[in-house]
Each structure stands twice: as C-alpha cells, then as structure tokens.
Structure 1
Amino acid sequence: MSKISKAGRAVGIYGCFTETGEPSEARATAAKVETCPLCMKPLKEKHRLICAHAFCAACLVRSVGRLGRQCPVCQKALIVVGDQPEGKMTVTHLKDCFGIDYGNIMYKIPSGIQTEAHPNPGKPFTGIQTTAWLPYSPEGQEVLKLLQRAFEQKLVFTVAATNGAADRVVFTGIPYTENPLDCLQDGFLQKVKVALRAKGIE
C-alpha cells in the first residue's frame, strides 16, 4: 500500500543528504524543485510521510511492495500525513423514520492563511463546512474509523488553487455523499475504502 513524506537531495534509496561541488547559485535553483529520492525526478502526486520524506505516489507504492511498510530512506514506519488545514470532524448516530441507522459526519475547517504546503503560501483560503453520511452497519462503522484516522493524519481535505477567487478547501478524492440514501448504494463503502487504501489508510 502507499504512504507518504518530504525529502531533499538523497543518495540512492537509503542515502543521506550530501553536499556537492555545485556553485551555490546552482544548488539554490535546484532546491526550488523537490525531487523524489527514488526516481530522482520531480515529485509526481507527492506523498509525504510523518518522518518528513516525500515521494512520488507510484514510487512509494513500488517501494512498499519491495520493502514493506517503512520509509525507503530512513526505514521508519510509514505514516502518511497531508496538508489539510486545522479543523473538526464530529460524528452523530442517527436513525431515520424507517429505522435505518446512519452515521452523520460534520466536517468544519475554518478559513485561514495557507502554509508552505499549500499552493499559495501566505495567501488566504476559504474553509469548508459540510456533511457526509455512512450507513451505521458493521462495515460502515469500520469505514468511519478509517475516515477518522485519515482526518487525524490530515488526508481528507486539501487547499486547491482557484482562478481569481480565493483558494478553497476541497476533498482529496475520497468519495462522500451529502444524501443519506446514496451511502446505502451497493459499492459505495468499497469505493471509500479503495480511496483510503491509496492514501495508506486501511
């Protein structure tokens, strides 16, 4: 499975940071482009680990297949962290008039200022307040626990750049529904689990 991190210039898969004989100006220019320490190319679909190393998503998936659930640079346990701004996730157990149990999730991330992890550091972003639903079945409760872990690891939301308007908080591709009936559809929970698994949550 995949997981995530932030890295500078490394030597080989297990390399360390190293100085080169390049002029300081060349080093400064190179530092502006983050490269993956596995493929040595600019990061594509960057995944950052809690140990602070970053990799291309595909490179990290291949690494996990070879080395297991550890950072390929420092060998620490793989724990993915995202760039989700600070916010709250609250869950309420509800039953409708037909006796169907639901988990109602309330997400609230207030507006704020972007950090270095976001598209436009120092500029404002518009927050989000939204509702999502899950069936309160055994599988639904399992998915809820996975979503809570993903939220704690800042993987459910991110800040997306917009054209003209203020950048805004959006979902990171994890399926959700604001209609309680939609969460009962066949395959919905499986789609959520697949998306979470791609982020290292399972």
Structure 2
Amino acid sequence: EDGYVTHELQPKEDYCPICRDTFTKKTQLMCKHEFCEGCLQQAEKSMGPVCPVCREVFGKIEGNQPEGTMTWETFPQSLPGFPGCGTIEITYCIPDGRQTEKHPNPGQPYYGFMRTACLPDNKEGVEVLHLLKRAFDQKLIFTVGTSRTTGADNQVTWNDIHHKTSRSGGPACFGYPDPDYLSRVKEELKEKGIK
C-alpha cells in the first residue's frame, strides 16, 4: 500500500540471442554481447564482423570495391564554411574491369570512373582524409551495381560513405557549406569499423 512494488531478482537468462537456445561454446564480443560460437560465425558470414545486437564492428570489414587508386593534393582556396584553410582534393580512379564472385554479375564487365571529392585542409579534414584512405584500402568506398543517377547496371558506384563532390552549392549539390558533414562522414566510417 506504500506505492512500492517489490520484484525478485531473476537470474540472467543464459541463452544465445541468435538461436534462442542455451549457449554452445559461448563467445563474448568486446561490446559484451554473447553468442554461440557457431551462431556468431554464421552471422559474420552474412553481415560481416558486426555484432548482431548493437552493430559494433569487432573485426576488419573488407568490401568488394574494384582495384583503383586514391590520390590527393592541397589547394590554397577555402571551401564555403571553412575560411582560413585550404582545400584537400581527393581523386579516385577506378578503371574498367571484370566483376568477381563478390559482385552482382560475375564475369561481366563493369565500367569504372574517375571522381573527385574535397575536404577542408584543417585538422578535422586531415583526420577524415586518413579515415577515407583506410576505408579505400579496405575496399569500402565503392562497389559495383546500378547507378542511382543513370539507372545503368554494371557501374562502379559510391558505397554509402558520403563525399562532397562539389566545392559549393551546399548539401543539395553535394557541396559546401555543410557544417555537419565531417561529423556525419566520421559516423558513417565508424559504422564500418573505421575510427
């Protein structure tokens, strides 16, 4: 009658969140989530090294980006919203090639491209550049699929890590100013284990 409800403490249920059964060879990830060893291996095959509960990356994610190069140079001109610092211009070059078993149409050709993107040449911009380089080396920046702009198949396309491909015009034109861009792209990279 005093407004308090007493609950008995229940023992922590000891079951795998994937198979919903008692653990077989319990494995704990850095995020503290636990799984059967076999269930986690199956989840990793389908999702990559990502916790099925909280999505924290526990290994190195390797993408299916075709071979290519990533280079960059700096220019003294400032980007809108970043006065007093220059610009880092990144050039990605992915030549034409043949799709592998990791792509939608193995054996068929894909059509490459050259793209440029820019970052402010300041501390955070340089940090993002290094994160993008790691993502490029792990084959995460591009993939092969259907172009969102042209609808053409078998194209090299961006792979969910947003880039500023224009120096101006704001977010609607994939350009600057966009004060939240650097923090957003760092979050996208973190979701792929690049931090």
Q: What range describes the TM-score normalised by the shorter chain of this pair?
A: 0.5 to 0.7
Equivalent residue number for residue 87 of structure 1? 68
Does the alignment pair 1:60 with 2:60?
no
Q: Which runs of 5+ in 1 are unaligned?
A: 1-10, 17-35, 39-52, 71-77
Tell me the CA shift for residue 172 of structure 1: 0.5
- Counterpart of 1:147 (choices 128, 132, 147) is 132
Note the 1:122-161 alignment, pairs <5 A.
122-161=107-146
Equivalent residue number for residue 15 of structure 1? 38
Q: For 2:124, what is the secondary structure of its paired residue?
A: helix
Q: For 1:60, what is the secondary structure of its paired residue?
A: coil
C-alpha separation in 2, matches of 1:130 and 1:56: 28
TM-score w.r.t. structure 1 length? 0.65
Equivalent residue number for residue 179 of structure 1? 166
Note the 1:40-79 alignment, pairs <5 A.
53-56=44-47, 60-62=51-53, 70=58, 78-79=59-60
TM-score w.r.t. structure 2 length? 0.67
**Structure 1 residues 84 and 59: alpha-carbon distance in aligned structure 2, compared to 1, 3 A threshold:** closer
Residues 49 and 61 in structure 2, CA contact (< 8 A), matched pair in contact too: no
Equivalent residue number for residue 199 of structure 1? 192
Q: How many residues align?
A: 150
C-alpha separation in 1, matches of 2:111 and 2:118: 23
Residues 124 and 166 in structure 1, CA contact (< 8 A), matched pair in contact too: no
Tell me the CA shift for residue 13 of structure 1: 3.4
Percent pairwise identity? 38
Q: For 1:55, what is the secondary structure of its paired residue?
A: helix
Q: Which runs of 5+ in 2 are unaligned?
A: 1-24, 26-34, 169-174
CA RMSD of aligned residues (A): 3.0
